[in-house]
Amino acid sequence: MGSDLTHVKSTPIPTHDEDSRSRSPSAALLSFNTDPSASPTPSSSPSHKPSTTVIFISLLLTTCVALSAAFAFAFLFFSNSPKSAPVYESSSLEYKARTLRKLDHPVVLLVSSDGFRFGYQFKAPTPNIRRLIANGTEAEEGLIPVFPTLTFPNHYSIVTGLYPAYHGIVDNHFVDPHTGESFTMRSHEPKWWLGEPLWETVANHGLKAATYFWPGSEVIKGSWTCPDKLCMQYNGSVPFEQRVDSVLNYFDMPSSEIPVFMTLYFEDPDHQGHQVGPDDREITEAVARIDKMIGRLIEGLEKKGVFEDVTIILVGDHGMVGTCDKKLIYLSDLAPWIEIPNDWVQSLSPLLAIRPPSGVDPVNVVEKMNEGLKSGKVENGKNLRVYLKEELPSRLHYAASDRIAPIVGLVEEGFKVEQTRTKQRECGGAHGYDNAFFSMRTIFVGHGPRFERGRKVPSFENVHIYNLVTTILNIQGAPNNGSVSFPKSVLLPAA
């Protein structure tokens, strides 16, 4: 891109291991010897033929009686079943995707509810979300965000299939070490945004995409021009109802003109979670409101006759955990071991990022900080561990970028880091922690022709969603960190 701001180590983009293969469940059923040339067992020897015939006839008669009883029971059971009970297609009968009824091409609508922690769907009546779950495919224990579990890094990972170290948005705010320029959530210059987001991939294939808010969607990059009326400039004051109705209006276009990929974004319940934590009544109300918006979307698609044709993928970007004043760690308490000036610190909490000036050895800083934290003399010190970024757990995939600070601190769940002690007191919620914490998980629900009804799949990282969408749209995606075989494990085969 011709700018110093694109500095990311030229590490090849790794993908998830695709070589593991699960053993076929049917293998155990074939464990007995089926080789006709094998030595005869005593029961198969010629001297036992008459008794074998008798046993065979007895088994045949028993089977006939059992089958007759089964048919009689089935008749009585189904003839007395409630006629009003909803009947879903049996997953065992869904071998292929359901055919489109009205649209002439697949359409994927990617919906994000910011900060929707996994489990929130049980905090309030959520009939519409549960309808998508009952008739679609759900990550049974939630969607795993990438680290750091922050809004911009995760939203951009979802649409690029890349970990933050590879797509460049390593935090909500960070500094480029080569130029000193700062990235903020209003930075729309393409030099910051690496990788190829889904809207750009779609445009590369000569197809239409529409984005109603999504981090990175306003960036004019590659073949994506953020077209008028199809790319909305972010405005948090736009009512949720207006956002839903605007997306529904796309389906009034001729079928061949309808964008094949759309995004829809809601700030809730993240907004409330930061203010009151994950357990307040405000969260319950916010979740109910999101469910109402999903209901508005479903109803609108049904009226247009396209609900069963449209693929809806409902996700969040991260979870939420409660924080309070008793769970604070102060960098100023480390003064007996090392002083950490304000201008070294790029972010405090929950992701501690420290970039010492040239001439200061990061190795020495990490050693001194951990010595103090482990001493037992720093309040809550045991709840912070500081690393050189290269020594972070590899599962975090958070090292291969110069934009990542050389020193990263992992904070224990629910704790926060402050520079100095103040009299300010607060209790609320936060995210950004290690993505291994269950509280950071969010939701994944897929509903549409390629998603099996009523299916639960194991939790997975959100970098796999990019390949999921390109597979549904039957287009070639860009290289990414997701597994190319992942869609086969989640989607029904194409019709």
- Provide the annotated active-site residues: 151
Instruction: State how far the alpha carbon of 138 is from the alpha carbons of 92, 114, 129, 441, 453, in Å.
Output: 17, 18, 11, 13, 9
* CA quadruple 353, 351, 185, 147: dihedral sign: positive
* CA quadruple 465, 234, 252, 202: dihedral sign: negative
Distance between CA atoms of residues 170 and 188, nearest Å: 15
Distance between CA atoms of residues 202 and 191, nearest Å: 21
Nearest to 465 by CA among 58, 139, 148: 139
Distance between CA atoms of residues 391 and 221, nearest Å: 34
Distance between CA atoms of residues 165 and 394, nearest Å: 12
329 near 385, Cβ under 8 Å?
no
Distance between CA atoms of residues 491 and 186, nearest Å: 36
Nearest to 338 by CA among 364, 374, 359: 364
User: Based on the number of CB atoms within 10 Å of its own CB, is 187 exposed (0-12), middle (13-18) or buried (19 or more)?
Assistant: middle
- Hey, how many other C-beta atoms are within 10 angstroms of the C-beta on 184? 10
Encoded tokens for 409: 């601190």
Encoded tokens for 41: 């067992």
Strands (E), 57-175: 107-113, 137-139, 174-175
110 near 266, Cβ under 8 Å?
no
User: Based on the number of CB atoms within 10 Å of its own CB, is 429 exposed (0-12), middle (13-18) or buried (19 or more)?
Assistant: buried
